[in-house]
Structure 1
């Protein structure tokens, strides 16, 4: 079988190759019928190729692939003939006809939500469907071709753009082919990276929900020329890739009419998203709670320790650092204070309160009788009443010095005789009288060591006044002064201990107040966000 026998029949005449189109209704019909031919491409030198190659090409053409390709090529030329089709004209048979555009949004990925710049970045596919009667054909006349894919820029496209765009790029980045069916219906599914403006509500950050929207509308056509219709009440998530930071709560869509400009309609999709708080809980909230709990230890530190104020100020500085970190995350808005900012301010107030109370406790702890006098109500309140309510029990107070038995006591018989001799005079009168107590050894020569005199047996008897009266009187006055001074020191020391115990009671009181306020404040701040409900806004 030669190469000439494999080739297709002779090429048709020019009259046969270029059919004239006649329009009946909305279908195209070639004026000249002919059988499609399959010609081998290439220069005439290809005709002398190897017979096996030519046989393979002939087999491909025999299966109909070449015939279908030729039919699609003819159909493309027939449909997009410049003499009958213009991509600048709206596909309407008259000026009053309304073109219905069906929209369906598919969310592929929620890329990011920039809280500080208030921009949401998403990867979406905006499916658009409409009908163009100029692109309808009779599939039986084109080898049964029912679907044709045409470059998007070669046909008319609705100028639907993202109205709340935030980066200046309103059109899609990739103009994919449109799918055209034989009845004239067109489906266009362009992918796009949308950066839309989103008003961030920081009131419950990081346990917040956000409602960001994508608003689509025609840039030049009003509602008398184009009618935008939702194909589905919600956006599609069939090809959605889950986000590590946000959960999708709902994606409702709505068709709205701007009351200020009713000539234009838009289709808006609300992205109701909930933040996953694990990251901020582990990295911000738990460290703040632990740092705040260190303030409790301030009330356990003894007042004599000089680290109470150091610990308070260190905790305050740590919370200040966390507050600076949060200020770089949330948007600089004055409408609301973020929840975590409220908690940090709350803990800073508590730490400041602990510093003030520590100063007060230290002031009370270092009081003495020489500087302050303890009022009766202070003694009654802080030494007797409050310790009972605070589950405190003070150890039983014992005298600092137990009284020692007197070593200069007279025997019973001699004391009676002395009492009868002196009469009912007091001790003060006894010191000033002519009689005084003296030991027999006092008249003896003094020993070089005073200890021998102390160990010697004492026998005090009433003696007539002598040369030792003045010395003994001065000695007794000195001993009395020392005793009074020691007794006064004991009393002062007792008052000092009372002031220290008052400081301990105040510390314990502030400890309970701090714990109760801290627990109630933490629960009161972090519990309400878990019960919040968010509904899409009904505005345009």
Structure 2
């Protein structure tokens, strides 16, 4: 008769439970034999011979970079820390305990090395020494303690190439109270290949180095420590888009300041507006930088140079406006230099044609005559005095009243006539005086306009000259900054 399936399952379950119960009982007995006797104490180093040092194998695996604070010069990292050592009081024969070779136990029940992070910047080291995790204990006495930890450690930020910088951040671990005679770290391992990607920083690698230090407080004692150096490089795209490109565009706006006509009245206002904009961006950069005088970031130097150039351009604009609005006669040497030499070099057309400022020829095409008018204030008064004297002589002199003489005098010029002055002659004199007055006014205005045009031409030449200087300075500045960025040197320049 074949057994039924439920019976087979019942027998199998019974055998399995018997093994589990047996294994559980053996584990309890093992833990009791190891910890409930007077032979083990978590307060004593786990060595039978007191002169034997505890050799700790230290492994550090980088999980992620949470934050890098340039202002306070700290780095926050999440790591997986593993320490391995041998506890001579935790050895047993697996055959006596149903072949149990490994068990896990809370870290609060075992002795732990007093390993601390020397350059920790926040909190205490309780998380490193008393993190409650399960520890793996093997039959040969080897103990494996692992824990995920978050450290805020000191990191000296080299801001010279900010934001195109590469940083080296150290994490220094070691025993706080035990020297190399009691606790040593002969083997160490570091790995950052499994790190989670960070949007701001790129991890280049992490290496560990063992150092032996002897301090002045404790002569004759050597304290070993492990220094893990993390190399990271900043991703500059965010800063290029939000800080570098706006600064370059604002700097380019200063070139428009030279192209803007002087008559617009907005040249100085544009320069001051650009200067204020750069100052605001400069404050944004300064807020993220540490208050140190050791280095000036390359971005800050770029802003400082740009601010200097914009300030210089505003000063040059004021000088150009001063030349544009001058009214007194221009020195001859200035005409030769600016309107002659510089205007040709800079390819600027300056109207150097000068009209006569003191003589106007009024043409009378109907008769083919020209009257030359000299705008002298004394000419009108002398003419009037001469004509009055001629009138007095004609009234008392010979030949008065003869028709042929009178007709001849009407055809003679006004200033050579000896007959009486008629009402037509007086009207002619008034017209002549008015024309001379207008001619004088127009001559003065023409002379003034010529002077203004000359000064405006000099201002135009100076504006173009300053624009060329500004463009050359901007190109040189960008080239120097670019060469410094392309040096690819993460360390401070010598």
TM bin (shorter chain): 0.7 to 0.9
Name the CA distance, whole Å, in 2 between partners of 1:171 and 1:526.
Answer: 47
| Aligned twin of 2:407 | none
Residue correspondences, number: 442
Q: Does 1:491 align with 2:447?
A: yes
Greater Cα offset, 464-473 or 144-153: 464-473
Name the CA distance, whole Å, in 1 between partners of 2:361 and 2:8.
Answer: 134
For residues 473 and 183 of structure 1, do their structure 2 counterparts lie closer, same or farther at Cα, with a shift above 3 Å needed?
same
Greater Cα offset, 324-333 or 212-221: 324-333
Q: Deviations along 1:275-294, whole A, 9 cap, x unmatched?
A: 11111111122112112211
The two structures, once aligned, show a CA RMSD in angstroms of 3.2
* Structure 1 position 363, deviation (Å): 0.7
* SS of residue paired to 1:140: helix
Equivalent residues of 2:192, 2:205 under 8 A apart: no
Equivalent residues of 2:356, 2:443 under 8 A apart: no
Equivalent residues of 2:214, 2:223 under 8 A apart: no
| Aligned twin of 2:404 | none
Matches within 5 A, 1:347-358: 347-358=306-317
| Aligned twin of 1:186 | 143
| Aligned twin of 2:419 | 466
One of 176, 182, 190 as aligned partner of 1:219: 176
Name the CA distance, whole Å, in 2 between partners of 1:535 and 1:101.
Answer: 33
Name the CA distance, whole Å, in 2 between partners of 1:487 and 1:326.
Answer: 60
Q: Deviations along 1:303-325, whole A, 9 cap, x unmatched?
A: 01111121111112212221222
**TM-score, normalisation: structure 1:** 0.74
Equivalent residues of 1:323, 1:344 under 8 A apart: yes
Name the CA distance, whole Å, in 2 between partners of 1:367 and 1:535.
Answer: 55
| Aligned twin of 1:389 | 345
Q: Does 1:342 align with 2:276?
A: no
| Aligned twin of 2:96 | 141
* SS of residue paired to 1:137: coil
| Aligned twin of 1:375 | 331
| Aligned twin of 1:10 | none
Matches within 5 A, 1:151-300: 151-172=106-127, 174-232=131-189, 235-260=190-215, 263-300=222-259
| Aligned twin of 1:306 | 265
Name the CA distance, whole Å, in 1 between partners of 2:70 and 2:149.
Answer: 22
Name the CA distance, whole Å, in 2 between partners of 1:67 and 1:498.
Answer: 113
* Structure 1 position 341, deviation (Å): 2.0
Name the CA distance, whole Å, in 1 between partners of 2:432 and 2:36.
Answer: 138
For residues 214 and 464 of structure 1, do their structure 2 counterparts lie closer, same or farther at Cα, with a shift above 3 Å needed?
closer
* Structure 1 position 526, deviation (Å): 4.3
* SS of residue paired to 1:268: strand
Equivalent residues of 1:172, 1:190 under 8 A apart: no
Name the CA distance, whole Å, in 2 between partners of 1:497 and 1:331.
Answer: 54
**TM-score, normalisation: structure 2:** 0.81
Equivalent residues of 1:230, 1:254 under 8 A apart: no
Name the CA distance, whole Å, in 2 between partners of 1:70 and 1:320.
Answer: 76
* Structure 1 position 385, deviation (Å): 0.9
Name the CA distance, whole Å, in 2 between partners of 1:493 and 1:460.
Answer: 41
Q: Deviations along 1:17-75, whole A, 9 cap, x unmatched?
A: xxxxxxxxxxxxxxxxxxxxxxxxxxxxxxxxxx999767514225x333333332222
Greater Cα offset, 309-318 or 76-85: 76-85
The structure richer in helix per residue is: 2
Q: Does 1:124 align with 2:79?
A: yes
For residues 498 and 285 of structure 1, do their structure 2 counterparts lie closer, same or farther at Cα, with a shift above 3 Å needed?
same
Name the CA distance, whole Å, in 2 between partners of 1:392 and 1:107.
Answer: 65
Name the CA distance, whole Å, in 2 between partners of 1:151 and 1:283.
Answer: 50
| Aligned twin of 1:58 | 14
Q: Deviations along 1:224-270, whole A, 9 cap, x unmatched?
A: 111112433xx212431111111112212111122545521110111
* SS of residue paired to 2:334: helix
Q: Which runs of 5+ in 2 are unaligned?
A: 1-6, 370-378, 388-409
